[in-house]
Structure 1
Amino acid sequence: MLIKLIVIALLLFIIVNLVRAGLVMLNPDKPEVKMSRYLGRRVMFSAVVLLLIFLAQALGWIEPNPRPY
């Protein structure tokens, strides 16, 4: 259950970084804040989420859905 909460928290953090990058893009008055910083974080945490899911499945912490047939 803890692993699922961690994945959900990371996914929410990814969405927050996407929104922050969008706000920086729409507000060009602040040149000291780079949009690529937020987009880079988003990509990095997306990779972390994928690796965490693969690792959790390999270690048996989570189970995939059963086959539908």
Structure 2
Amino acid sequence: MLIKLIIIALLLFIIINLVRAGLAMLKQDQPNVKMSRFIGWRVVFSALLLLLLFIAQAMGLIEPNPRPY
């Protein structure tokens, strides 16, 4: 159950950083807010999520859906 909460939290962080990057792109009057920083954090969280999914599946913490046929 804990691993699923961590996955959901990482997905939320990814979406939040996507929204923050979009807002930074629209607000061009703030020179100290860099859109690339938010996009970079989004990439880091995505890579961390992918790595966490692979490790959790290898350890048996989560199970993929059975084959459809």
- TM-score past 0.5 threshold: yes
Counterpart position of 1:6: 6
Gaps of 5+ in 1: none
Gaps of 5+ in 2: none
- TM-score by length of structure 2 reads 0.97
The 3-state SS of whatever aligns with 2:38 is helix
User: Equivalent residues in 2 for 1:17-56 (5 A)?
Assistant: 17-56=17-56
Identity percentage over the alignment? 75
Q: How large is the RMSD of aligned CA atoms in angstroms?
A: 0.5
Q: Which amino acid aligns with 1:4?
A: K
String of CA shifts for 1:22-51, please: whole Å, max 9, x gaps: 000000010011100000000010000000
Q: Which amino acid aligns with 1:68?
A: P
| Moved beyond 3 Å, runs of 4+ | none
Aligned residues: 69
